[in-house]
Amino acid sequence: MFGTYLKRITIIGGLLLIVSACTVMPKHLDNAGPETDHTFHRTVRLDNQTVSTFRALQQQHLATVNEVEMSTPRFSRGDWVKMKIQTMPDYDGLYQINAAGEIEIPFSEPLPASGLDRRTLIQSLQSSLLRQGWFHDDQTMLDISLVRASSIQVSVFGAVFSQGQVTINGQPATKPEDAFQHETGAFTAGRNLTSALRAAGGIRPDADLRMVILKRHGKHYLLNIRDLVEGARYQTMPTLIQGDEIYIASRGEEDTRLIRPTPITPPGMRVLMSNLTAPALSNAQSAIGNDATRLVYGASLLDAAISANCVGGTHNANASRSILLVTRHHGSTEQIVIRRSINQLLANASDYTVNPYLMPDDGVACYDSRFTNLRDVARGIGELFGPILLGGIL
């Protein structure tokens, strides 16, 4: 009698487990809707403050940009310069531009230096020393050379992946006089606009590259950086100084032509991945390490599925696997969950409304097929009730 009841309980329990296992995905995601079945478009959702900021900037008097002048290297706070005065060798040596953007020469008033190019700074120093009576005009022999360009902080706002203050041209913490006492000249490519945009995570696909505004010392400059996407006009991009502010306007819609590696887009991106269901019992067994989760910018959901080992294996058992994409609209922090089957991605690999591009910090999770789910349920039933049945028989 006891054995009969035990068998009935086992059968009923097994049936309940099988029924519960039929829903591999959460129920609300298993119901195909407009965002989880055939199409998906990232939209741009800008808050009112951002829109107001850019409208106010566009109403400013925007200065015409002289590309040659803007690309000329300029001194900034923290730079080390070497000064030489022919008739006053005691003043020769290294000087650092202070936090106020000035050079402090002994027995002289502070001299403005930040934001000036080499030629302008030399002329400014000569004029200042002449006014102070250091020497006559025909005796002026002064030279300034950049020894080390410091790291600077600039602010980047708008259609980039990481808004806020960024540091560019980082330098090791060594004393410049140790290595550069007798050398002059420094390369300042790390302080240009391209470096700042990359430090801010790169431009988003909705960026309006013809509406880039540079704010410096209260003056606004309008820039067109469209050619940077093709790697052109790199040498004419503005050289930045401490305190510059950069504003990247949004087109209001996504331009898929910008979703690829360029000098101003992300060089790569980190994608969060999970493959914690059978046949792999852990990410380590699935070979999901740092290399697998770092994808090239422009990778699609299918690329991530392959990287996460969601594609392949026994066809009958794994062909109907599903994958979730957790992403966001541009300019929004609200998460969106999208489901695709592996077969759906394979059949529509070139349709990016079905197989969307990934963005930095997106999340990807794999779910196994119903066949694998039922197989594991059957295995679980055996592990759970096998000892009970064996005990009843014995």
- The domain that holds 147 is classified in CATH as 3.10.560.10
144 class by beta-carbon count within 10 Å (0-12 exposed, 13-18 middle, 19+ buried): buried
**Residue 75 shares a structural domain with residue 120:** yes
Rounded to whole angstroms, the Cα distance separating 52 from 238 reads 26
262 inside domain: no
Rounded to whole angstroms, the Cα distance separating 251 from 254 reads 8
259 inside domain: no
Helix (H) or strand (E) holding 322: strand 322-328
Domain boundary among 219, 249, 279: 249
**Residue 29 shares a structural domain with residue 126:** no
**Residue 102 shares a structural domain with residue 224:** yes
Q: Where are the alpha helices (DSSP H) in the chain?
A: 2-21, 27-30, 48-58, 67-71, 118-131, 176-180, 193-199, 290-293, 301-307, 315-318, 342-347, 370-393
215 inside domain: yes
Of 188 and 366, the one with more pLDDT:
366
The per-residue pLDDT for range 21-34, each reduced to its tens digit, is 454 444 444 333 44
Rounded to whole angstroms, the Cα distance separating 352 from 242 reads 41
The per-residue pLDDT for range 276-300, each reduced to its tens digit, is 555 455 555 555 666 567 889 999 9
258 inside domain: no
**Residue 64 shares a structural domain with residue 198:** yes
373 inside domain: no
**Residue 147 shares a structural domain with residue 275:** no
The confidence score (pLDDT) of residue 28 equals 45
**What percentage of residues in the chain have a pLDDT greater than 70?**
68
66 inside domain: yes
Mean pLDDT within 161-166: 93
The confidence score (pLDDT) of residue 64 equals 64
Tell me the average pLDDT of the chain: 77
Of 72 and 207, the one with more pLDDT:
207
The per-residue pLDDT for range 236-245, each reduced to its tens digit, is 778 898 899 9
Residue type, 68: V
222 has pLDDT over 60: yes
β-strand pairing of 142-148 with 80-85: antiparallel
Mean pLDDT within 243-250: 93
Mean pLDDT within 189-207: 90
Strand pairing partners for 102?
112
The confidence score (pLDDT) of residue 157 equals 94
**Residue 29 shares a structural domain with residue 92:** no
Closest among 60, 42, 268, 53 to 157, alpha carbons compared: 53
**Residue 289 shares a structural domain with residue 215:** no
308 has pLDDT over 80: yes
Domain boundary among 204, 221, 249: 249
**Residue 158 shares a structural domain with residue 227:** yes
31 inside domain: yes
Where residue 209 falls among pLDDT bands split at 50, 70, 90?
very high
**Residue 85 shares a structural domain with residue 229:** yes
The confidence score (pLDDT) of residue 167 equals 92
Domain coverage including residue 132: 51-249
The confidence score (pLDDT) of residue 218 equals 83
The confidence score (pLDDT) of residue 394 equals 54
Mean pLDDT within 188-214: 90
**Residue 167 shares a structural domain with residue 311:** no
Q: How many domains does the chain have?
A: 3
Domain boundary among 249, 275, 297: 249
The confidence score (pLDDT) of residue 149 equals 85
Residue-wise burial string across 21-43, b where 16 or more C-beta atoms lie within 10 A, e elsewhere: beebeeeebeeeeeebeeebebe
12 has pLDDT over 90: no
Mean pLDDT within 138-154: 83
Poorest-pLDDT segment among 112-126, 136-150, 207-221, 361-375: 361-375
**Residue 228 shares a structural domain with residue 288:** no
Cis peptide before 279 (omega within 30 of 0): yes
291 inside domain: yes
48 SS3 class: helix
The confidence score (pLDDT) of residue 25 equals 44
Q: Which DSSP symbol is given to 370?
A: H
**Residue 125 shares a structural domain with residue 214:** yes
